[in-house]
Amino acid sequence: MLNEFSGADGMRPADAMALTVQSVEDVALGVKKFVLADRNGNPLPAFEAGSHIEIILPNGITRAYSLLNSPTETSRYVIAVHKSPDSAGGSLYMHEVLGAGDTVRAAPPRNNFELVETAAHACLIAGGIGITPILSMIHRLCQLGRSWELHYCARTREHAAFAGLLAELAKSSGNAVRFYFDLEPNGSRLDIGAVVAAACEGTHLYCCGPKAMLTNFEEATQALRDRAHVEYFEAKGPAAREGGFVVVLEKSGLTLTVPPGASILDVVGDAGVSVSSSCREGICGTCETRVVEGVPDHRDALLSDAEKQANRTMMICCSGSKSGRLVLDL
C-alpha cells in the first residue's frame, strides 16, 4: 500500500490490541521498518498475504499499514513506513517519535488485496512503498512453490526497500524480479501495458503503488476482470458530497436527509447510530454497509465493477446516492 491512509478513530476499543514496538530499522531512503508484537508475548491474530492493520498512534491518529512479513509468522507483524512530505502527522510520528519499547493500539488484520493462491502464475507490480503487501504475497507464493514475477519501480536503488531480499527470494525460488529506477543514469521505466499484454492465460496480476501507476494498471487490465487486483492507499477520486437524498436506516427506524457537503457516515453518526470507520475515503472497507434498496453512487476504491453494479453494499464514508432514497441495513 502507499502504505498509509489517514483516518478518524472509528476503531472500536474492544477490537484493539496492544502491540509493542520491538525494533525500528532504516530499510531505504525515507523508509523505516517496524516490528510489532503482542505486549504480553501472546500469538497474534492470523493474517493472509495482502492484509493490513490499522494502528492508533499514541498521538490519536489512525493509520493503516500493509503487513510485509510471511503470513505463517504468528509472533509479529512487520510493516514499513514511508515518510511522506505531506504527512498530517502519521508517518512523521512513526519516523520521528515512535521507537523500540513503545506501545500502540491496533485493530486485527483486514484483507482487501487477496492473493489467489491457486493461480497458474502471479505477475506482481509495485511502486515505491507499494512493495509492502507484495512482499508478503511473495513470501506466501514461495511457500506454496508457485510461479511469480515482480516488476518493482522506485526512484533509485536507494529508495527501493527490500530490494536485496526480493532478489534473493527470486533467485532461491527460481522466479524473476525486475527493477526500474527511473531517476538513475540509464534507468528504465516500466511499461505496464507491455507487461500486461505479455501475461499468459491464467495469470493473476497485482498492483500496488502511486495513483498514476494504479490508473495505468486498471486501464491496461480492463479486459482481465477478476484476474487483476489493485490496492489503493489514497482516495481514487472525489467523494460524493452532493447530498439532497434521504437515507432510511431500516434497523434503527430512522429516516435522515443527507445535505450537500455531508457524508452518509457523518449524518448517520450525528443521528446516534454507530458505524465503524477508519480511512473515510473509500480505501479501507471498514464502513462497508449493506444496501437494502436504492442505487448508491459508488466512489470507493474497493468494490469491483461487478460489485458496484450489484449494489449489495456500499462504503458510506465516500459514496452517495443516485436515487432519491436509499435504504441501508443499519
Question: Contact positions toward ligand FES, by CB under 6 A?
Answer: 277-280, 282-287, 300, 315, 317
* Of residues 69 and 278, the one with the C-beta less far from ligand FES: 278
* In the complex, least distance from residue 120 CB atom to ligand FES, rounded to whole angstroms: 32
Residues 282 and 287: their CA atoms lie apart, in Å, by 8
Of 67 and 284, the one with the shorter C-beta distance to ligand FES is 284
Pick from 71, 146, 72, 66: nearest CA to 106: 66
Of 82 and 236, CB closest to ligand FES: 236
- Give least dist CB 318 to ligand FES, A: 6
Q: How far is the CB of 327 from ligand FES (least distance, A)?
A: 19
Give least dist CB 309 to ligand FES, A: 19
Q: Minimum Å distance from CB 285 to ligand FES?
A: 5
**Residue type (1 letter), 72:** T
By beta-carbon proximity to ligand FES, the closer residue of 203 and 277 is 277
The angle subtended at Cα 143 by Cα 140 and Cα 147, nearest 5°, is: 80
CB of 170 to ligand FES, least distance (A): 34
Closer residue to ligand FES, CB minimum distance, 149 or 288: 288
Minimum distance, C-beta of residue 90 to ligand FES, in the bound complex (Å):
15
